[in-house]
Homo-oligomer: A and B are copies of this chain.
Amino acid sequence: MSSLFLRTLREDPADAEVPSHKLLVRAGYVRRVAPGIYSWLPLGLRVLRNIEQIVREEMDAIGAQEIQFPALLPKEPYEATGRWTEYGPNLFRLKDRRGGDYLLGPTHEELFTLVVKGEYSSYKDYPVMLYQIQTKYRDEARPRAGILRGREFLMKDSYSFDLTDDGLSESYELHRDAYVRIFDRLGLEYVVVKATSGAMGGSASEEFLAVAPTGEDTYVRSPGGYAANVEAVTTPAPPAKATDGLPPAQAHHTPDTPTIESLVDFLNDEADLGRTFTAADTLKNVLVKTRQPGTAEWTLLGIGVPGDREVDMKRLEAALEPAEVALLDEADFAAHPFLVKGYIGPAALAANGVRYLVDPRIVPGTAWVTGADKPDHHVVDLVCGRDFTPDGTIEAAEVREGDPAPDGSGPLESARGIEIGHVFQLGRKYADAMQLDALGADGKPVRITMGSYGIGVSRLVAVIAEQSHDGSGLIWPRCVAPADVHVVIAGKTDEIAAGGERLAADLDAAGVRVLLDDRKATPGVKFADAELIGVPTIVVVGRGLANGVVEVKDRRSGERQEIAVESVVAHLAELTGAR
């Protein structure tokens, strides 16, 4: 450490909010260069490389083959799939000296698809799984939390190419299992949640979320083990009921009741209907407009949800992906006078050809209080399947703690996590865009089906730090730690210095990775730095050396043990697995 390029800091960086960011900067692992753009100092780079190696081993173990694409990419493949525009401002775009359009790769679906198309042609070539561990770029609107959400980051992305859906399922499971092994080896606490696939397109998809109160991702879980992204939660539909014998729908004058609350109050206080209504008895109709990527035209869409729930825009967006969604503005209402703000009902939508999608709880036979399509009027006992027929269902209503898990495993509760891995069944989206076919055994082309699998390698450094630290500093699991043993020379005598140096040399010779604190600094400074840096085992060579002992401390538990100098190398080699 007297020559290591490292200066620890006593103060948290001013821009840091989460523990991993504070500690990785203070302990000298990373340094900020620009928003979301970091340099790796020697200790940080070692941790990063150790994680990278674990990821590589597990990818190799499932037969995935490592390749490497450039980060600087021409526009054309991304234009072919529409992502050149779909990515919007998240994409770093640039021009070369001849005016050609380029981008910095945010993910490499297009390139993987093209390289397989370039090399492979026959069904005999498949299946194949390829991966890379490579620097990626996304111009995040809000880079945050140090390397947790950066604009330049290291990612392992892999892709599977199969002839059949069953093949894709197998490749998907291989990856899923490899991810479990990787995150288990890293000692992470994580959940696997059902996910929507976002801008990636495709069908089955799961996310690996590290459990962390500072996480950006909200997910829900049930006591019975269900876990899903909020966007991916499905709503159990009650059974449809018969409509026979239900009271007829009836319009009522409900003055000044544009909100659900004012409507319920009016029905219960002023109207005399002989029943008590709650917000859950009302049907709230929210109007939005959508447009497909690459088109200019907006289309109206009506969303019906029980009046006791808000529309969750993130769920709505996920449900309508890849279409864009926006709320209506005054001009839209002015252009469509049949939309009576605060009193919109299914009737006007149907009469004017507006597509109408409802929450799964709105099944045939359920009766609702909803807008009557004229100011200050609502209709009561409007029965689904009798008085109105939605065009389909949509998962747009907010998910609440206590809602039942869709698999019947109990009530949902919400938790926070950090996305560390994502496995997708992409299907044929990219193969279609790039026309990736194999010549089948029968001489006919077979369209390839793909999976896409990602791990945020540099993010994992922060995630481990987030889950594994205490008030004094970082606590690295041994497999990723920058060293196995941190030897602290705690004393000014030549004997102690020589003893520490000899121990470090002996440990090194025994295959133990050592960080030796041979600086001219007080023991207090050295101990504090050792705690901050977080090497799992700390050995103090100090006054005890005169009695033939050194102190071995476990960074995580704080447990200390005096060990005889002559047996300490063997002890530590055993402990660290070096021998």
**Footprint of B on A, CB under 8 Å?**
3-7, 28, 31, 33-34, 37-42, 45, 48, 63, 65-74, 89-90, 92-94, 96-97, 100, 102, 104, 111, 115, 118-120, 128, 130, 135, 137, 139, 141, 151-152
Contact = CB atoms under 8 A, between A and B. Distances in A.
Nearest to A28: B119
B39 A70 contact: yes
Contact of A31 (B65, B73, B92, B115): B115
Contacts of A5: 65, 67, 119, 128, 130
How many copies are assembled?
2
Nearest to A33: B70
B94 A38 contact: no
Given A94-B94, A97-B139, A34 B73 contact: yes
A41 B131 CA distance: 10
Contacts of A28: 119
B92 A92 contact: no
B115 A72 contact: no
A100 B35 CA distance: 11
B135 A39 contact: no
A14 to B, nearest CB: 15
Contacts of A120: 7
A39 B92 CA distance: 20
15 contacts: A5-B65, A5-B67, A5-B128, A6-B119, A34-B73, A39-B69, A39-B115, A40-B67, A42-B66, A42-B67, A45-B67, A70-B152, A71-B135, A89-B97, A97-B139
A141 B98 CA distance: 9
A150 B432 CA distance: 31
A69 B120 CA distance: 36
Contact of A68 (B40, B67, B89, B111): B40
A80 to B, nearest CB: 14
Top 5 closest A-B pairs, CB basis? A94-B94, A89-B97, A40-B68, A34-B74, A7-B119
A3 to B, nearest CB: 7
A8 to B, nearest CB: 10
A139 B39 contact: no
A3 B129 CA distance: 10
B39 A74 contact: no
